[in-house]
Chains A and B, each alone.
Chain A
């Protein structure tokens, strides 16, 4: 309890472990009894890794430095480690389905992307070990490997656009295609570009714990977590609901509006928080006569109001997204060719 992101009481953490194990058992037995593809094996590897690293959330020593060191094994090794396996696998699956590109080609890309994710991201954990009491050599390791971390995200963007431009079919579910391209671009911008901005130790010395971190966090989580989930929902929902391969044209139009509203709003949120961060660092950490935290916060409220307005735009997009599931319900299910 009382640790950022791991606020759950221990009993809830135990519950999370039970639910995750049940989920992995379900998925695992399904994969084992079906066709074992590269995509499904990578997905399973990611899910098992996710469960293993969550176990570190139970370790909470009295020593704050040790606490923080292993806290990052959940927080960082999820985002920059096992989650990229899951993200890559889901993206590869949807791209196989919507583009009809040869599975061999897609699987080769997937292996390369997750290889780069692990090679850069695992030691890249070091970019969190600059100023929490850990030894100095992490400044070098964290800076170098952290600077390489955009590579897998850039490859993911190349991958998605390449596969879509080489498509062998026009899939009726264009909303799912849009989400798949969107998640690759936004994960690259949020995790890759905005992460790179403050991953070098001399830069992070000034940005650490500022609104820059918040800006990066917002776009990275939306791009790499939210959008891939919405991608697979967009692809799977019409099939699960017996609407054929895609929702009606009307429903897809609403869904695409939701995509653009949420995505553009998230870009504005990120830019507003970046503006807040730059000013905060300047006033509080770099000025000749540094201002106090509270005085600094009072000086940057304009950016918080901007962020708030963009947040309302995002909320409207979210409402539209949910509404899109109820559009065109009455029409007979479209039976389009696969």
Chain B
């Protein structure tokens, strides 16, 4: 590197660029957080949906599935499972309830989690709520 470009200049780019970027991120975050209510329909975030998120986390669903594209890529995307199952929370609950405890030989199979009816309804409502977030039209099709 040329001698005229000093270490001091490089340090100034680092400090200035770093601080500027962080401040920009903070202001964009402020804007994003204030714009989110338009997109995440939080008015529908009932205590039941919140319980569903807890059921989702306590059973480590993300350990196999993806949700809005993030997760383990081992099992289907669930951000749009509500639509894939014909706009039906009952079908989601039934699917989870009916998993064979022994699994299905020769293929990946979801375990039987023995959820209570309350938990089944809650997770179904959580997945319905998730499917109605404005995600810029993702996923590309119904298969997720």
Nearest chain A CB to B27's CB is how many angstroms away?
11
Count B-side interface residues using an 8 Å CB cutoff: 63
Write the chain B residue with the least CB distance to A295. Answer: B143
Tell me which of A69, A112, A208, A294 contacts B13 (CB under 8 A). A112
Bitwise interface map of B from 17 to 43 toward A, beta carbon under 8 Å scored 1, else 0:
110111011001101110110011010
Tell me which of A38, A69, A141, A284 contacts B143 (CB under 8 A). A284
If A63-B42, A111-B7 touch, whether A132 touches B70 (CB-CB below 8 Å) is yes
- In the bound complex, do residue A111 and residue B40 qualify as a contact, i.e. CB atoms below 8 Å apart? no
B133 close to chain A: CB less than 8 A: yes
- In the bound complex, do residue B32 and residue A115 qualify as a contact, i.e. CB atoms below 8 Å apart? no
B49 close to chain A: CB less than 8 A: yes
Interface of A is mostly: helix
Task: Give bound CA distance, A261 to B10, whole Å.
Answer: 38
Nearest chain A CB to B76's CB is how many angstroms away?
4
Tell me which of A62, A114, A139, A293 contacts B136 (CB under 8 A). A139
Number of A-B contacts (CB under 8 A): 170
Task: Give bound CA distance, A57 to B13, whole Å.
Answer: 30
If A115-B10, A139-B136 touch, whether A4 touches B17 (CB-CB below 8 Å) is no
Residues on the A chain within 8 Å of B10, using CB:
108, 111-112, 115
Write the chain B residue with the least CB distance to A136. Answer: B136
Write the chain B residue with the least CB distance to A210. Answer: B73
B100 close to chain A: CB less than 8 A: no
Please name the 4 residue pairs, one residue from A and one from B, whose CB atoms are nearest each other, closest first.
Answer: A2-B57, A209-B69, A131-B138, A111-B10
Residues on the B chain within 8 Å of A2, using CB:
56-62
- In the bound complex, do residue A293 and residue B143 qualify as a contact, i.e. CB atoms below 8 Å apart? yes
